[in-house]
Amino acid sequence: MVGLLFVSPWLIGFFAFLAYPLFYTLRISFTEYSGFGEPIWIGLENYRRLAGDDLFWTALYNTLFYTVLAVPVGVFVAMGMALAMNQPVREVVVYRTILFLPSVLPLFALSFIYLTLMHPTRGIFNQLLLALGLPNIDWFGDPDVSKLTLVILAQFGAGQVALIFLAGLKGIPASLHEAAMLDGAGTWRRFWNITMPLMTPVILYDIILGITLGLQVFTQIYILFDPPGGPAGSTTSLVLYLYDNAFRYGEMGYASTLAWVIFALTVALAVVIFRTSKRWVNYDMV
């Protein structure tokens, strides 16, 4: 009883803010509900509607496109930052702080800074492109590059993952690299044959986390693009479409259906990643 008393704040929060909303949204996903009054039971109608909804398929494509591109790029960026943070130089603490600092900023604040940096006429990035003789790019108005804009922004938060990668690098025994050097292995061979195999458990964690966050991309889309989801629907994500149905159109039942589709998609991708990880994740240190 004493133990339950101490964990009761967590238990109350779990059941009130996670378990109950989870099952409540499942129930109203089978109803027509505006958020007011009593839900009207309509069975699987919302799921049938979803199958024939072109906007849903567009949002699904945009979300998967962003996730499939942003997550692998994020792994390479975070690994590069971690390797830089792991260099034996006197000023390494300063460098770590500089590399990690952008990831500390709240996403909405980072989005506003990014909006200024990538402005099509006044942004520093486009000014550099023009100085190099490259064409000016409308990052927020061109449907062909809008999703790439989001992928680039995602890399500003790679500092947090880089710290996790840095901890993984610190956990690799130095004796393995010393033995490889004695055998004549160069930098790249030591990286591919020692560092990368022993970092695969950490990379697996980053991929699972990245997929979960990627499928829930919303805030940066809402801030960067006017209207949100533009241009021409090229950045409409599943969560943005859910938000529009719930709070703009008052279709809570349909929005709950979308929420469960996102949940099921996240679980399915996580299961696939875990199943395939047996082929490439190495948990042996020797």
Residue 28 lies in a domain: yes
pLDDT value of residue 93: 86
pLDDT value of residue 45: 95
Sorted by sequence, the CB contacts under 8 Å of residue 58 that are 6+ apart come out as 233, 236
What are 36's two structure tokens? Answer: 């007011």
Whole-angstrom distance, CA of residue 189 vs CA of residue 117 = 38
pLDDT value of residue 120: 84
Residue 8 lies in a domain: no
Beta strands in the chain (DSSP E): 31-32, 40-41
Mean pLDDT of 26-45: 93
pLDDT tens digits for 81-110?
A: 999 988 888 888 888 888 888 888 888 899
Beta strands in 12-170 (DSSP E): 31-32, 40-41
Residue 127 lies in a domain: yes
Mean pLDDT of 36-55: 93
How many domains is the chain partitioned into structurally? Answer: 1
pLDDT value of residue 104: 86
pLDDT tens digits for 154-165?
A: 999 888 899 999
Report whether pLDDT(286) > 70.
no
pLDDT tens digits for 103-143?
A: 888 888 999 999 999 988 888 988 898 888 888 889 999 99
pLDDT value of residue 285: 59
CATH assignment of the domain containing 148: 1.10.3720.10
pLDDT value of residue 244: 95
274: amino acid identity, one letter: F
Residue 10 lies in a domain: no
Report whether pLDDT(40) > 90.
yes
125: amino acid identity, one letter: F
Whole-angstrom distance, CA of residue 223 vs CA of residue 261 = 24
88 compared with 205, residue with greater pLDDT: 205
pLDDT tens digits for 219-276?
A: 999 999 988 998 999 999 999 999 999 999 999 999 999 999 999 999 999 999 999 9
Report whether pLDDT(49) > 70.
yes
pLDDT value of residue 178: 87
Whole-angstrom distance, CA of residue 180 vs CA of residue 193 = 9
Mean pLDDT of 201-205: 93
Average pLDDT, the chain: 91
Residue 176 lies in a domain: yes
Domain span including residue 218: 21-277
Tokens 């309509």 correspond to 42
pLDDT tens digits for 9-20?
A: 999 999 999 999
pLDDT value of residue 185: 86
pLDDT value of residue 149: 94
Angle (nearest 5°) at CA 107 between 269 and 20: 55
Residue 285 lies in a domain: no
pLDDT value of residue 53: 94
Residue 67 lies in a domain: yes
Residue 11 lies in a domain: no
